[in-house]
């Protein structure tokens, strides 16, 4: 019963299912006169991996809590798996909050069962699944240990298993990679991919662009409580034209007139944005002018560059601040 191997045909979309796992329009939330979320729109396709990307304090957690019905928006609407009231489908949702919390005196498998019971899974079934999951994820030796006897990393793994034990159709992670070492970050990425592969919708918030770029089908970029971009990762990257790196044997010639206006010259290298007309007309000019092409590469913009272009330098710099530094 490994997370990536569970057989859950009920999670696969059917003709009767709504096409979107989550839909939100115009969500607004204020706290003591401060607008934490200001008109957020989101559409999360069923079965996708969707990232909410932004610096700490941008409104990511508040947005997730509104989607889940933990708090209500001051205005706007949300639909979760076709329901206007999130609590109606709470049994089909798994939620891992940024602030982790387990009862210290509980045994590990009991903690997993308890989290499942909160989502409607019978305790007996939850205990059995909890023990099996601990065994299959290399924590079998800790089945009878209490939470207080675990390291922080082990406790996080136990809470993750508790988030998934009831086999949810929608999983929501709030900064799930925070505090994990590189090995456990890799394990979590694999778990997220396995969940999506079996039809589960995964939405997670993060301030680490690399996780979103590696995992997500779509992202919402959030800054200052607003969403300046939401859509496929490739579409975000396409906001910036691909960059060309050209190396020539000659440093001058009539062919230079064919280079774009934004060209930067460094030795025998030329750097510029890919022309809208494509690279072919420039290549003809270079060949006919006998520039002596030594190398030519075209690089598509990364998600970090796209984030800077969409949200601005200040928001990009704020991504470097970890949640621990804000506390």
List of residues 6+ apart from 190 with CB closer than 8 A: 4
List the CATH code of the domain at 9-233.
3.40.50.300
pLDDT at 8: 32
- β-sheet with 34-45: strand ranges across: 34-45, 20-31, 75-80
Rounded to whole angstroms, the Cα distance separating 157 from 96 reads 11
> pTM of the prediction?
0.81
Q: Is beta strand 201-206 parallel, antiparallel or unpaired with respect to 170-174?
A: parallel
- Identify the pLDDT of residue 325: 45
Which pLDDT does position 101 carry in this prediction?
A: 81
> Do the strands 201-206 and 49-53 form a parallel or antiparallel pair, or are they unpaired?
parallel
- pLDDT for 322 equals 54
- The whole-number mean pLDDT for each consecutive block of 10 residues of the chain, a chain of 327 residues, reads 36 55 96 93 95 92 95 95 92 91 93 95 96 92 94 89 96 90 88 94 93 94 93 90 93 91 91 91 93 93 88 80 50
Kindly compute the dihedral angle of the four CA atoms of residues 252, 257, 258, 262, in this order, to the nearest 10 degrees: 90
Residue with tokens 């069923």: 46
Residue 130's SS3 state is: helix
∠ CA 241-243-249, nearest 5°, is: 145
**Cβ(276)–Cβ(295) under 8 Å?**
no
- Report the pLDDT value the prediction gives residue 321, as an integer from 0 to 100: 59
- Numbered ranges of CATH 3.40.50.300 in the chain: 9-233
The residue written with tokens 């996780």 in the block is: 211
Q: Which of 176, 293, 179 is nearest to 244 (CA)?
A: 293
């Amino acid at each position: 019963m490994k997370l990536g191997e569970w057989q859950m045909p009920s999670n696969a979309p059917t003709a009767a299912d709504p096409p979107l796992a989550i839909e939100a329009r115009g969500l607004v939330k204020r706290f003591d006169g401060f607008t934490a979320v200001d008109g957020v729109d989101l559409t999360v396709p069923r079965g996708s991996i969707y990232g909410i990307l932004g610096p700490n304090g941008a409104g990511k957690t508040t947005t997730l809590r509104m989607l889940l019905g933990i708090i209500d928006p001051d205005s706007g609407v949300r639909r979760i798996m076709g329901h206007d009231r999130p609590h109606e489908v709470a049994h089909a949702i798994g939620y891992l909050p940024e602030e982790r919390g387990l009862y210290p005196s509980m045994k590990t498998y009991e903690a997993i069962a308890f989290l499942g019971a909160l989502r409607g899974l019978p305790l007996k079934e939850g205990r059995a699944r909890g023990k099996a999951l601990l065994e299959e994820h290399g924590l079998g030796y800790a089945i009878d240990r209490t939470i207080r006897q675990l390291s922080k990393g082990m406790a996080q793994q136990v809470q993750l298993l508790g988030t998934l034990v009831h086999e949810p159709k929608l999983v929501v992670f709030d900064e799930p990679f925070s505090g994990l070492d590189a090995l456990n970050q890799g394990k979590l990425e694999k778990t997220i991919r396995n969940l999506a592969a079996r039809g589960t919708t995964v939405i997670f918030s993060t301030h680490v662009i690399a996780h979103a770029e590696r995992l997500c089908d779509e992202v919402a970029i959030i800054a200052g409580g607003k969403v300046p971009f939401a859509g496929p990762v490739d579409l975000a990257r396409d906001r910036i034209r691909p960059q060309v790196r050209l190396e020539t044997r000659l440093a001058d010639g009539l062919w230079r007139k064919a280079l774009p206006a934004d060209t930067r010259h460094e030795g025998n290298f030329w750097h510029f944005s890919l022309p809208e007309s494509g690279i072919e007309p420039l290549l003809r000019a270079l060949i006919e002018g006998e520039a002596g092409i030594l190398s030519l590469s075209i690089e598509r913009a990364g998600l970090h560059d796209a984030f800077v272009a969409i949200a601005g330098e200040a928001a990009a710099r704020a991504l470097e601040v970890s949640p621990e530094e804000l506390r």
